[in-house]
């Protein structure tokens, strides 16, 4: 651990090395090695005409000593790097969060580098006081946070707003990963269905009765109609006239909700109240969105293999998923099973209104016919 290592790590000569550069280099080696090399580094920086400050060296020694003793937390170390005056805050007061360094896309890498350069300019101009940050001055910290918040929300010359640009890139990456997972689940579902006997015939009378009940139900206010409408996306478009289309759209929506709850009655404000209890409809929609593709695949595949008359209670669904050979799953303990059962409480409740299960939570002929079709529809691209 010497000045050559620091310069190579920072990509700058010693005369231009910043506190952030030095801090990152010190954290790139074991804390004991960094502590031993600290005095020599200080002398080398002085010789290069870039002595930094006593406050920085004291903070470096204190932080490295805390790491070496095992007392430092991840937050402590992050706060120390941020106190160098040119390290972007990992999470701003408005909850903008930078992706982890090894997870940043090209836009995030660019914007992070731009912000570092901007902060270096502000330090050079005397607008940021790293010594005050290192000593924990609240007003200096507040000003540092506000400075970054303002930069993240200010358009660049090319019109991009840094914070939005990074968030949009993260959203695109998330959607791409979700689409890839969904496409794989769909291919596995089709593979499994192709290996099963000929699909059952449509139970027309059951579908007619279930669709009539469904139309009457969805015209009513509150739960479960509000959740079923949101799942199917019927808050923004008309209910189809065709019974099979209606039923399959709603059943598919239970597996892949199309929209959020309507805010006509202040539902979203209630959902956003972290101190309040979630309503039944909030809980139901949250549970549906939390179920993984693999769990849907395993559960529905098991029901289709077993056929009508099989128990499809939340507890049984959790067990079928845990014991499935269609997906790779680690050994699950009681807490895992309870969590899955809790999510499927909402599913089975909605399935009952669709006639997928009866009042005793037993799979019906309609459920046997429609569940795989609904799941395939939920995961198929719109062009399909």
For residue range 282-311, list pLDDT tens digits in order.
889 999 999 999 999 999 999 999 999 999
pLDDT in the model for residue 333: 59
Give the span between the Cα atoms of 226 and 281, in whole angstroms.
7
Sequence-distant (≥ 6) Cβ neighbours of residue 168 within 8 angstroms: 107
What's the pTM? Answer: 0.67
For residue 157, give the DSSP letter: T
Look at residue 278 and tell me whether its pLDDT is greater than 90.
no
- 362: β partners: 311
Closest CA to 278 of 225, 337, 223: 223
pLDDT in the model for residue 9: 93
| Average pLDDT, integer, range 243-252 | 95
Look at residue 274 and tell me whether its pLDDT is greater than 50.
no
Share of the chain above pLDDT 70, in %: 93
- Least confident segment among 279-283, 342-346, 371-375: 279-283
Do the Cβ atoms of 326 and 298 come closer than 8 Å? yes
Do the Cβ atoms of 371 and 320 come closer than 8 Å? no
| Average pLDDT, integer, range 341-358 | 95
Look at residue 220 and tell me whether its pLDDT is greater than 50.
yes
pLDDT in the model for residue 262: 54
pLDDT band at 252 (very low <50, low <70, confident <90, very high): very high
Share of the chain above pLDDT 90, in %: 74
Neighbours of 133 (CB within 10 A): 23
Structural domain boundaries of the chain?
3-167, 198-379
Find the length of the chain: 384
**Averaged pLDDT of the chain:** 90
Give the span between the Cα atoms of 313 and 325, in whole angstroms.
20
Look at residue 275 and tell me whether its pLDDT is greater than 80.
no
For residue range 155-185, list pLDDT tens digits in order.
999 999 999 999 999 999 988 888 898 999 9
Exposure class string for 54-70: b at 16+ Cβ within 10 A, else e: ebbbebbeebbebbeee
> Tokens 């790779």 label which residue?
328
């Amino acid at each position: 651990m010497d000045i050559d290592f620091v310069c190579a790590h920072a990509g700058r000569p010693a005369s231009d090395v910043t506190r952030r550069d030095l801090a990152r280099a010190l954290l790139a080696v074991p804390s004991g090695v960094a502590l031993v090399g600290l005095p020599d580094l200080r002398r080398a920086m002085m010789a290069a005409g870039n002595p930094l400050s006593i406050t920085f060296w004291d903070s470096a020694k204190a932080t490295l000593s805390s790491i070496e003793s095992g007392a430092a937390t991840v937050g402590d170390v992050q706060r120390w790097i941020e106190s160098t005056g040119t390290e972007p805050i990992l999470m701003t007061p408005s909850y903008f969060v930078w992706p982890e360094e090894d997870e940043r896309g090209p836009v995030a890498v660019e914007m992070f580098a731009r912000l570092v350069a901007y902060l270096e300019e502000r330090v050079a101009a005397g607008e940021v006081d790293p010594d005050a940050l290192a000593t924990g001055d609240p007003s200096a910290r507040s000003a540092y946070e506000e400075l970054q918040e303002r930069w993240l929300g200010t358009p660049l010359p090319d019109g991009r707003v840094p914070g939005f640009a990074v968030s949009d890139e993260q959203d695109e990456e998330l959607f791409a990963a979700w689409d890839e997972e969904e496409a794989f689940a769909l291919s596995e579902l089709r593979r499994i269905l192709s290996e099963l006997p000929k699909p059952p015939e449509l139970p027309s009378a059951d579908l007619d009765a279930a669709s009539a009940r469904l139309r009457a139900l969805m015209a009513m206010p509150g739960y479960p109609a509000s959740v079923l409408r949101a799942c199917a996306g019927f808050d923004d478009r008309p209910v189809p006239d065709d019974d099979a289309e209606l039923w399959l759209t709603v059943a598919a929506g239970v597996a892949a909700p199309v929209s959020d709850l309507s805010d006509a009655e202040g539902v979203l404000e209630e959902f956003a109240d972290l101190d309040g209890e979630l309503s039944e409809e909030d809980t139901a929609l949250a549970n549906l969105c939390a179920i993984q593709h693999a769990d849907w695949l395993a559960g529905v595949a098991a029901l289709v293999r077993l056929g009508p008359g099989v128990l499809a209670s939340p507890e049984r669904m959790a067990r079928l998923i845990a014991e499935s050979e269609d997906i790779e799953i680690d050994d699950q303990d009681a807490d895992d099973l309870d969590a899955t059962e809790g999510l499927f409480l909402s599913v089975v409740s909605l399935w009952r209104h669709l006639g997928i299960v009866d009042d005793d939570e037993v799979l019906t002929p309609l459920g046997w016919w429609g569940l795989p079709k609904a799941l395939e529809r939920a995961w198929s691209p719109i062009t399909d």
